Every structure is written in C-alpha cells, then in structure tokens.
Structure 1
Amino acid sequence: MERMRAVLVHDGVLAVADVPQPAPGPGQIRLRVTRAGICGSDLHVRLDPDASADVAAEVGYADFMRSKERVVMGHEFTGVVDAYGPGCRRRWRPGQAVVALPLIRHGGDVHMIGLSAKAPGAYAEYMLVAEDATMPVPDGLPTDLAALTEPLAVAWHAVARGEVTRRDPAVVVGCGPIGLAVIVVLKALGVRHVVASDYSAGRRELAWACGADVVVDPAVESPWAQLGDGPVTSAPALYGSGLDALHALRSVPGLPWWSVVGAAQRLGAGPRGAVVFECVGVPGVIDDIVTHAPFRSRVVVVGVCMQPDTFRPTLASNKEIDLRFSFCYDPAEFHRTLHLVARRRLDPRPLLTGVVGLDGVPVAFDELTRAGRHAKILVDPWRA
C-alpha cells in the first residue's frame, strides 16, 4: 500500500506521521493537495473536540472527531485531480485544479472532511472528496486564493444572513480571519460604511488592508460612536421620530396617513440600526453588542462560542434587536464565492500572512492562537 505524510491530532497534540494513502471509493476523487487553510475552528477543535462533538451529536451527527481519536484535520483546501474511484463520471482530467465542499459520503453516511476520523482532511499529501461536490478552479486563479474559497463562503453566507444593503452601517466585532473575510465581502458588495473593532494592533492593520472604513481599538474608543447620527440610540428618539412623522402627516387635511406610513415602511423608510457581525466567539460579547448596538440592529453571530453565554432578552426586546446565527453556506454560495474571487470581485489577498509545510503546522497553530500579525496561514504539503 502506498504511504503518504499527514499531520495527525491526538489529545491536542499535532504531529507529522506516515499513513496509508487513501484509495477513492465509489463517486470519490483522490486529490493531491496543493494548499490547505488553517481555520479558527481548527484551533478550537484541536484542544477541545469533545465539546463540539457533543453539540454535533445533538443535531444528529455522531461522528464528529473526539480527543482520543487520531484525525487529519483541514477542511479549507484546493488540490489537483489524482485518481477516480468506481462509478465516477470523470469530469476533469488528471492534474486539473479543483476545490470541493468539505463533505463526503461513505456508504449512506455523510461526513465532515477534516473534522471526523472517518473523513481525513487536507493536512496531508492526498485526500478524498466527493466528485459531485467538486468544482474546477477557474483558469488563472492562484492556488493560494483558491484555497480561501471555503472561509470566504462562510463570510458570504454570514453577510447574506444580515441582509445588508449598501446604505446600512456595518460593524465587525473581532478582526480574526472570519471577521476580516466579512469585511472583504461587505466592501465587495459596496457597503459604504464598515467599522471594524479589535484589541490587537496587528489585526487592526489587517482590517485596514481588507477595506474597513473605520478601525478602532475598543479599549480606547467605542465602535458605536463611529456610526454617526443616523441610527437611533435611545427610546425617546425612536418614539419621538414616530410622533414627528405623525404630526407632519396629519397636518395635511384628508391624507390617509396610515397608508403613507405603510408605504414608507415597505420601501425601507423609518429608523434603522446597524448590521453587526459578532466574530469573536467568547462569552459576554453578545450581551455587550445588545447593550450598545443601535435600536433595530441586526446582529449576526459568526464567532463560535463553546461556553454557555447569557444576554438580557428584555433589553434586546426593548431595542427590537434581531439576533441571527450563521454557521456554514450552501453549494451555490460556495460556487459563487469561487468565481467572485476568480473575477477579482472578492480580493482576499490581505488575509494571506504565511505558508508552511506539514512540519510547520504545529508551530503555525501556536502562532494563530495569539492575536498578532497572522490572519490566514496556508499549508503546502509538498513544501520542505
């Protein structure tokens, strides 16, 4: 049996090992991995996969990785077609650069690539993907950028969950890799005023590079003070605006003011808040956002918080805060993201801060746990 090099995690320890090269099954393609991204969720899962596995089991997936298993992680990747399994349509020639959704079937079961012992991921020289979930990389798209399709698709879906328009002020709380990707997507969609907030000077510099219009250190100044006078920030102002509009409309004899108000609401008029993206994932952040965000804000929770958390529902109700949660993306969003990057509509180049070989993965994980100069470190399995 052919062998290959891969990075295994076991009880939180990452180490390079010599393992069997995978053989593609029915409907599967073996890829020769060319790049893999280190995701923030990988950092969490490395140290405490059991908490994530318990949650996954609650939503019906029983095969999420556990600490006692030996797992090849890596669910952000690109590679070239190396071999087909039986029953494939062989859509692409050997050597064709592709990306794929990090999901694969073994028999009748669906598994999460890079997050299950049953679906080894991309921190390896070779890996398996589903042919139907594979998409060719457009000509001319650099390998490093193709590898960012998956995290950018996560950001695209999060922005879609926020239903952001160009005139909505947006606040990105936390400028780690996913927060930076959200900034890239917001600016690509033409959102005019994006405020980014992070305690790390290095991450603030990256937020500027990704296109944020205002970048703040929340230890020094409030991101909410950067939204201007548009959003409503107090109950008297909200109710007062309604009374002022009613006074103006009722001064016109015979005007059906209720119809005018209804039409204006359908057109999006009236008090609006900000669209806020929580990209931190630690307890207390949601409550802080609910406390300080303008009235009628839409809050999209993108950060993965593994501990129980609390916020004050009565405050959120009084301010009519929409609280939404975002996790993944659909295949069409993944495909759209790939082609937007290829057409330079999305420019994730500021996210790229390093490339390591398999032997450098443990150190890269340690670097990424510290909020510094790094955003996205890629793995090149063939790099010395």
Structure 2
Amino acid sequence: MKAVVCEQGELTVTDMADPVPGKGQVLLNVTRTGICGSDLHGRHHADLVADVAEKAGYPHLMRMDQPIVMGHEFVGTVAAYGPGCHKRWKPGTRVVALPMVDSDTGPHLLGLSEKAPGAYAEKVVVQESMTMLVPDGLPDDEAALTEPMAVAWHAVRRAERGRGQAAVVIGCGPIGLAVIAMLKASGAKKIIASDLSSRRRELARELGAHVVVDPRETDPFDAYKPGRNETRSVTDLVGVALDTMGKLRMVPGPVPWWQAFRLAEKIGEVPAGPVVFECVGVPGMIDQIIGTAPLRSRVVVVGVCMEPDSFTPSMAGTKEIDLRFVFGYDPGEFRDTLHMIADRKVDVRPLITGAVGLDGVDAAFTALGDPEAHAKILIDPSSDRLRP
C-alpha cells in the first residue's frame, strides 16, 4: 500500500507492506482521513509532546526520529479480520473507529505512535471492539469528522453549562469551530465567538455563533451581555448577595434564610458568569481570560499549549473562576457524536474546506497554516489530487 510517512519533520509518500490485523483487529480500506491540528504540531514538535505524554504515563507517543504514519480521524470499509473477531460486518461495510489498538506491547494511540500506524494510508488496522457502523446516508467526508467532533462534544459536556448560561468561545480554529457547532447542538441560546481571522469568524457564524467579534476591536466579554442572574464585578456580586439575603430573611416558616440562600444558589438565583472555552492554546491566554472574564465564570481549557505558562491565582480566586482542562472523549461520546452528525443535529459540512490525495498531504499541511484559507482538509487515498 501507499502511505505518508513523517520522519524528522519530512512528509514522504512511501510504498509499505499492507498491515496485517492481529487478534481482535480489523483491516480497513481507508476512504477519508482528516488532518488534525495535533498532526501539524507533531510534525515539528513531536519530542516535546512525547515528553509530556511520557510523564503522564504513555511512553509510546511519536518522536521526531521515528517513521510515523499519522492519521487518527478516519472512515473506511471492512477489508479483512484478524483471529478472534466476531466478524460483525461484511467486507465493504463502512465503519469508523476510536483511534486506539491493543497489542502484545499494550494499548497504543493509532496514528500517534510508531507501534500503531494511522490512516494517512490506503489501509489501516483498528480494534474491532472500538469500531462502529456508519449510518446509511452519512457521506464519508462527514463521517471522518466523528473523532474531532467527539473532542468538542466532550468539552461541551465537561463544561456542564447551565440552562440559559452563555458560552464564550475564544479561538475559532477547527476545534473552536467544532465546539461552537456542538454548543448549538446542545441548545445554547447565547454563543459569543472571538477570532482574529475574518474567514474563521465567518465560519463561526455559519456553525451557530450568535455574536462574533474581532478581539482587536471588541473584547469578547464586552460583547457578552450578562443576564439577570449574572454579574461582572465584585461590587455587583456583594450588592446582589446582600439584596438576595435581605429578601430571603423574609421567607416564612422554619427554613433558615441561609438554607434558602443555598437553594437559591442551586436554582440559579445567585449570580454566575458564562462558560468560557479557551481554544487557542498559546502561553498567556489562560491568564488573559481570568483577568477579563466575568465573576464565577467556568473556563474550559480545550486548546493544547505545550509550553510552560502562568497565571495569577489570587485573581482567579477573587473572581471565583473555575478552571477545567479537557482531553479526548470516551467511547459513549464518540458513538453519540457519530449519530448526532448522521441525524443532522450537528452540521459539520462548513468545516470541510479542502481535500487532497496522499501526494497532496505536504501541500495541505502548508495550506492549513493560513487561517484565511482552510479549516479542515480531508485526505482521499484514492485521489490523485495534489493540492487542497
């Protein structure tokens, strides 16, 4: 088969032996593969990412001096089974799979490890237990986006956005745009999006953002309009608390007013800020958000910053800012995302801005460096197209 191999930052189309599925594994013919931002980053900074992964407990992440076949966002058709499989689907059946496989050396992240070649190739091996049938009528282009959209769905679920609570998305690259789409699918009625790129702001509107700003002209938190149960300043919070407690003192019956205050807090009568999704991943962004976000905001860090960073804890404490960091998704979220796309509860089509064959992957990596040109480029291994 043909595959794109990354080694020392160089992308080369290479002839390789067809992969052989092991116990409990399935061989797929790849029909589409998405190029992920982590692939772009890993091309030149794999060692830095691998060092962090090793400290976190996974020692097999790709390194610069290893020949790596990337690609963990994909759809394909069943070609063959390894031993010990249930053989749930006939050859030619379209499926997607979570990008992880089991082996004699333990579990590996597909497309992110030398021990688990990915889908920048004509064929890929996946774990049968992690594979799911693509619903009829769902095009390959859209099915291939199940994985990145599952990342966004996990972030939205982890945010635990309350009813009527606003969402502010900082950064409208592919993952920020995916978060916007999933927020819309979850029923969010107030989505504020911020990005420097005019093209990305346009896509943010198309995917469901209600207010879109250029941060050079408008602070996204100035565009955010607090509701009746939201507040922006410490002074306002003290005033609202005193007013609320004064009213609750008048509550008749045996319930003490401080218990009534806790009840009011639970049902949203005590002020809370918006949910903020940090989707940029550069040093200083978390500190900037803490400094400008309204009181009691919940900040969900989706962007991956690989460099050391800092913020002022006393500012976060004074404003009672919640910080949550997210990574990946679980199998249930992956399955739910696939069916949300198939049922048109979320529309991923605006995210797809280009397609290439294997020979065009290097050019696609370059093109994705221009935020005005592309959001998501897909690889079609059967195509001889050279440019996105």
TM norm structure 2: 0.96
**Contact 1:165/1:191, CA 8 A, preserved across alignment:** no
Match of 2:117 in 1: 120
SS in 1 for 2:355: strand
* Structure 1 residue 372 corresponds to structure 2 residue 369: no
Return 299-308 or 55-64, whichever deviates more.
55-64
Match of 2:352 in 1: 352
Match of 2:33 in 1: 36
Q: CA deviation at 1:62?
A: 1.0
Q: How does 1:174-253 map to 2 (within 5 A)?
A: 174-230=171-227, 231-251=230-250
* Structure 1 residue 81 corresponds to structure 2 residue 106: no
Q: CA deviation at 1:267?
A: 1.8
Q: Distance in 1 between matches of 2:136 and 2:162?
A: 31
Q: Which runs of 5+ in 1 are unaligned?
A: none
**Contact 1:201/1:372, CA 8 A, preserved across alignment:** yes
In structure 2, what residue type is equivalent to 1:121? G
Q: CA deviation at 1:149?
A: 0.3
Q: Distance in 2 between matches of 1:127 and 1:310?
A: 40
- Of all paired residues, the percent bearing the same amino acid is 57
Q: Distance in 1 between matches of 2:200 and 2:104?
A: 43
Match of 1:338 in 2: 338
Q: CA deviation at 1:106?
A: 1.3
Match of 1:270 in 2: 270
Match of 1:256 in 2: 256
Q: Distance in 1 between matches of 2:20 and 2:249?
A: 75
Q: How does 1:90-129 map to 2 (within 5 A)?
A: 90-129=87-126
* Structure 1 residue 148 corresponds to structure 2 residue 157: no
Q: CA deviation at 1:61?
A: 1.1
Q: CA deviation at 1:252?
A: 6.0
- 1:105-140 Cα offsets, whole Å, 9 max, x none, are 112500000000110001000010001100000111
In structure 2, relative to structure 1, the CA distance for the partners of 1:166 and 1:367 (3 Å cut) is farther
* Structure 1 residue 301 corresponds to structure 2 residue 301: yes
Partner of residue 12 from structure 2, selected from 12, 15, 23: 15
* Structure 1 residue 322 corresponds to structure 2 residue 322: yes
Q: Distance in 1 between matches of 2:78 and 2:331?
A: 20
Match of 1:287 in 2: 287
**Contact 1:204/1:216, CA 8 A, preserved across alignment:** yes
Q: CA deviation at 1:367?
A: 1.1
In structure 2, relative to structure 1, the CA distance for the partners of 1:252 and 1:130 (3 Å cut) is closer
In structure 2, what residue type is equivalent to 1:262? R
**Contact 1:203/1:373, CA 8 A, preserved across alignment:** no
Q: Distance in 2 between matches of 1:60 and 1:79?
A: 30
**Contact 2:191/2:209, CA 8 A, preserved across alignment:** yes
**Contact 2:169/2:176, CA 8 A, preserved across alignment:** yes
Number of aligned residues: 381
- 1:6-47 Cα offsets, whole Å, 9 max, x none, are 001011111111111101111110100000000111111111
SS in 2 for 1:80: strand
Q: Distance in 1 between matches of 2:89 and 2:337?
A: 20
**Contact 1:276/1:298, CA 8 A, preserved across alignment:** yes
Q: Which runs of 5+ in 2 are unaligned?
A: none
Match of 2:159 in 1: 162
SS in 2 for 1:290: helix
Q: CA deviation at 1:268?
A: 2.6
SS in 2 for 1:109: coil
Q: CA deviation at 1:251?
A: 4.9
In structure 2, what residue type is equivalent to 1:90? K
Q: Distance in 1 between matches of 2:105 and 2:116?
A: 14
**Contact 2:226/2:232, CA 8 A, preserved across alignment:** no
TM norm structure 1: 0.97
In structure 1, what residue type is equivalent to 2:246? H
CA RMSD of aligned residues (A): 1.2
Return 161-170 or 82-91, whichever deviates more.
161-170
SS in 1 for 2:261: helix
